[in-house]
A = this chain, B = another copy of it.
């Protein structure tokens, strides 16, 4: 009752392992197996319910047809969507995806890369944690294919798929300004990561252009205390002396926390205050005021990352891996 192997098929037909293997891999032409024999083998394989053993195959050819995906927070809809599309698209090329989660913890980042390395994944797609740079560098040094997604480290030579965070932010802010906002607050994570900085810079540049930049309207949130930090930040932005007429939330978790607080405080949106968020949330459908948001091309991001990774994997050893930093454009929902 054990699994049927190539050897079993070979014996059943009275032919060698090699012949069976060639046929089952569609290499009958270079191996020059006769049409009749190929058909017999295929028929037998089907009848005997043959399923290739990918462990053995991976061991032999040195590839496992598996991709390791490390995301920062799988319970966040943005990442679970991303994971979904990566999985779906990778499958088309015969790759399985092992999804793991770091919960934004650097420790887990290290653990996960080790676990996956020992499982011989052919490459990694990673949403790196704040201080995850060393682990990425380690992978690169070992010549393991890596593609970063959503976040990147500009100092190291590694391919990445990002959205153009700066432009996204600029678009968001310009739309607010066009709607008459003058004193716009920013709620953003306190982070060293480049994508956050780009979002902040976009905000700053637009407001400077309109002469209304005021650093005290930038509130940096510690992601370990989102709820309380955002509550405080929103409250302080709404102080009368600030005269704030718009808030830009730089991530979806910040939006969620912020909107909850705005609802609690009964703020009149959009008449007294306009808000723009980064990323869509299912909850927007249930909020009584319209929410404008920066729309990331999640399926395209996933597909691009997979394409990049596979092309790295296919790169013959020795050839240095070409570093590609892809920036995709975002759209503003409800844009005018």
Which A residues are within 8 Å of any B CB, using their own CB?
A: 1, 51-56, 58-59, 64, 66, 74-75, 77, 80-81, 83-84, 87-88, 91, 96-101, 114-120, 142-143, 256, 259-260, 263, 281-283, 285-288
Contact = CB atoms under 8 A, between A and B. Distances in A.
Contacts of A99: 83, 87, 97-99
Contacts of A51: 114, 117-118
A64 B98 CA distance: 13
25 contacts: A1-B142, A51-B117, A52-B118, A53-B59, A55-B55, A55-B56, A55-B59, A55-B119, A56-B59, A66-B98, A66-B119, A74-B84, A74-B87, A83-B99, A97-B99, A98-B99, A256-B282, A260-B285, A260-B286, A263-B286, A281-B282, A281-B283, A282-B283, A286-B287, A288-B288
Interface of A is mostly: helix
A91 B51 CA distance: 27
Contacts of A259: 286
List 4 tightest A-B contacts by C-beta distance, closest first: A283-B283, A80-B80, A55-B59, A55-B58
A53 B120 contact: yes
A64 B56 CA distance: 11
Nearest to A94: B115
A88 B101 contact: yes
Contact of A96 (B81, B98, B288): B98
